[in-house]
Amino acid sequence: MSEPQHHGSDFESVLEEYPVKLENFEGPLDLLLHLIRKHEVDIYDIPIALITHQYLDYLDVMKELDLDLAGDFLVMAATLIHIKARMLVPRLEEEAEESHDPEDPREALVRRLIEHQRYKAAAELLHERETVRSAQWGLPEERLGDLAGEPFERELEVDLFGLLQAFQSVLKRARERPTFRLPSAEVSIETRTRELLQRLENIDACGFEDLFDKDRGRGELVTTFLAVLEMIRLNLIRVFQSASFGPIRVYRCDRPDDAPPPFGDPAHEAPDDMVGAAGAETDD
Partner 1 sequence: MSDELKPIIEALIFASPDPLAPKTLFRLLDSEPQEDVAQAVAALRADYEAHGGLQMVEVAGGYQICTRPELHEWVRKLFHEHSKQRLSVQALETLAVVAYKQPITGAEISEIRGVNTSGVIGTLLERQLVKVVGRKQVVGRPFLYATTREFLNRFGLSDLEDLPKVEEMAEALGMEVPSSLAAGPSTEPLPFDDDVLDDGAGDAGAVVDDDDARRRR
Tell me the three state secondary structure of residue 207.
Answer: strand
Instruction: Report the residue from 49, 67, 69, 119 that binds partner 1 according to the rule CB under 8 A.
Output: 119
Q: Smallest gap, in angstroms, from Cβ of residue 147 to partner 1?
A: 4
Site membership for partner 1, residue 59 (CB under 8 A): no
Site for partner 1 in 97-116 (CB under 8 A): 103, 107, 110-112, 114-116
Instruction: Report the residue from 67, 69, 148, 253 that binds partner 1 according to the rule CB under 8 A.
Output: 148
Rounded to whole angstroms, how far apart are CA atoms 220 and 187?
A: 8
> Of the two residues 161 and 245, which places its CB atom closer to partner 1 in the complex?
161
Q: Are 219 and 181 in contact (CB under 8 A)?
A: yes
Rounded to whole angstroms, how far apart are CA atoms 139 and 135?
A: 13
Task: Please give the C-alpha separations between residue 106 and each of 92, 103, 271, in angstroms, as whole numbers.
Answer: 16, 8, 97
Q: Smallest gap, in angstroms, from Cβ of residue 104 to partner 1?
A: 10
Question: Count of residues binding partner 1 (CB under 8 A)?
Answer: 83
Site membership for partner 1, residue 154 (CB under 8 A): yes
Site membership for partner 1, residue 162 (CB under 8 A): yes
Site membership for partner 1, residue 163 (CB under 8 A): yes
Q: Smallest gap, in angstroms, from Cβ of residue 221 to partner 1?
A: 20
Largest CA distance in the chain: 116
Instruction: Report the residue from 164, 203, 205, 259 that binds partner 1 according to the rule CB under 8 A.
Output: 164
Residue 71, judged by CB atoms within 10 A of its CB (0-12, 13-18, 19+), counts as exposed
Q: How would DSSP label each residue in 231-284? A: HHHTTSEEEEESSTTPPEEEEE-PPPTTPPPPTT-TTSPPPTHHHHHHHHHH--
> Of the two residues 72 and 204, which places its CB atom closer to partner 1 in the complex?
72
Site membership for partner 1, residue 45 (CB under 8 A): no
Dihedral over alpha carbons 239, 240, 241, 247 (to 10 degrees): -60
Site membership for partner 1, residue 95 (CB under 8 A): no
Instruction: Provide CB contacts within 8 A for 211, sequence distance 6+.
Output: 196, 199, 224, 228, 250
Q: Binding segment for partner 1 among 88-96, 161-169, 184-192, 254-262 (CB under 8 A)?
A: 161-169
Site membership for partner 1, residue 20 (CB under 8 A): yes
> Of the two residues 64 and 157, which places its CB atom closer to partner 1 in the complex?
157
Instruction: Report the residue from 64, 65, 137, 216 that binds partner 1 according to the rule CB under 8 A.
Output: 137
Report the length, in residues, of the chain.
284
Site for partner 1 in 173-232 (CB under 8 A): 173-175, 177
